[in-house]
Structure 1
Amino acid sequence: MDANSLLIQTTFIGLNYADIYRRNGNYHIEKHKPYINGYEGIGNVVKIGENIKNYHIGDRILFVDVPFSNAELVAVPAENAINVPKFITDKIAISLGLQGLTADFLAHDLAANHIDEHVFIHGLSGGVSQILTQLLVADGIKVSGTVSTDNKIQIALDNGAEHVYKRDEISNGKLFNTFDTVYDGVGKTLPQSLELLKHRGKVIFYGMAGGLPSPIDPVNLMSESKSILTGDLWDYLTDHKSRQLRFNRLLKYINRHQLKINSPEVIPLSNGQIAHELMKSGHSAGKILLQP
Structure 2
Amino acid sequence: MKALYFEEFGGSDVLQYGELPKPVISEKEVLVKVDYIGLNFADIYRRRGEYHIENHVPFINGYEGAGSIVAIGEKVTKQKVGESVLFVDVPLANAEYVAVPSDQAISLPAGIDSKLAASIGLQGMTADFLAHDLGKNSPGEKVFITGISGGVGQILSQILAADGIEVYGAASSVEKQALALSHGAKQVYPSRETFWAKTIEGQFATAYDGVGSTIQQSLDLIKHRGKVVFFGMAGGNPIKIDPVALMSESKSILTGDLWDYLTSYEERKVRSERLFSYFAKGKIEISEPTVFSLHDGKKAHEFLETGKSIGKILLKP
Q: Normalising by structure 2, report the TM-score.
A: 0.90
Q: Given the superposition, is the C-alpha separation of residues 162 and 171 from structure 1 closer, same or farther in structure 2, using an over 3 Å criterion?
A: closer
Q: Given the superposition, is the C-alpha separation of residues 154 and 276 from structure 1 closer, same or farther in structure 2, using an over 3 Å criterion?
A: same
CA distance in 2, matches of 1:114, 1:64: 28
Per-residue CA deviations over 1:42-84 (Å, capped at 9, x if unaligned) read 1111111111123221111100000010000100001111001
CA distance in 2, matches of 1:108, 1:232: 14
Alignment partner, residue 199 of structure 1: 224
Alignment partner, residue 121 of structure 1: 145
TM-fit CA distance, 1:156: 0.7
TM-fit CA distance, 1:29: 1.0
1:15 aligned residue (26, 31, 39): 39
Alignment partner, residue 247 of structure 1: 272
Which amino acid is the alignment partner of residue 239 of structure 1? Answer: S
1:283 aligned residue (286, 308, 314): 308
Asked whether the equivalents of residues 85 and 114 of structure 2 are also in contact (C-alpha less than 8 Å), the reply is: no
Asked whether the equivalents of residues 189 and 196 of structure 2 are also in contact (C-alpha less than 8 Å), the reply is: no
Alignment partner, residue 130 of structure 1: 154
CA distance in 1, matches of 2:110, 2:220: 46
Q: How does 1:183-194 map to 2 (within 5 A)?
A: 183-194=208-219
CA distance in 1, matches of 2:164, 2:119: 23
CA distance in 1, matches of 2:112, 2:258: 24
Asked whether the equivalents of residues 144 and 206 of structure 2 are also in contact (C-alpha less than 8 Å), the reply is: yes
Q: How does 1:62-101 map to 2 (within 5 A)?
A: 62-101=86-125
- Alignment partner of 1:97: what SS? helix
CA distance in 2, matches of 1:54, 1:213: 42
1:25 equivalenced with 2:83 (yes/no):
no
- Alignment partner of 1:134: what SS? helix
CA distance in 1, matches of 2:197, 2:86: 44
Alignment partner, residue 140 of structure 1: 164
CA RMSD of aligned residues (A): 1.0
1:55 equivalenced with 2:65 (yes/no):
no
CA distance in 1, matches of 2:78, 2:250: 49
- Structure 1 gap ranges (5+): none
1:256 equivalenced with 2:281 (yes/no):
yes
1:213 aligned residue (229, 233, 238): 238
TM-fit CA distance, 1:87: 2.0
Alignment partner, residue 59 of structure 2: 35
TM-fit CA distance, 1:171: 5.6
Structure 1's consecutive aligned runs of 4 or more residues displaced over 6 angstroms after TM superposition are: none
CA distance in 1, matches of 2:282, 2:110: 17
- Alignment partner of 2:30: what SS? strand
Which amino acid is the alignment partner of residue 181 of structure 1? Answer: T
- Alignment partner of 1:131: what SS? helix
CA distance in 2, matches of 1:156, 1:274: 27
TM-fit CA distance, 1:204: 0.0
- Structure 2 gap ranges (5+): 1-24
Number of aligned residue pairs: give it: 292
Q: Given the superposition, is the C-alpha separation of residues 172 and 155 from structure 1 closer, same or farther in structure 2, using an over 3 Å criterion?
A: closer
Per-residue CA deviations over 1:221-257 (Å, capped at 9, x if unaligned) read 0000000001111001001111111111012111221
Which amino acid is the alignment partner of residue 138 of structure 1? Answer: A
Alignment partner, residue 270 of structure 1: 295
Per-residue CA deviations over 1:89-139 (Å, capped at 9, x if unaligned) read 211111120010000010001110001100000011101100000000000
Which amino acid is the alignment partner of residue 23 of structure 1? Answer: R
- Alignment partner of 1:173: what SS? helix
Q: Normalising by structure 1, report the TM-score.
A: 0.98
CA distance in 2, matches of 1:35, 1:23: 9
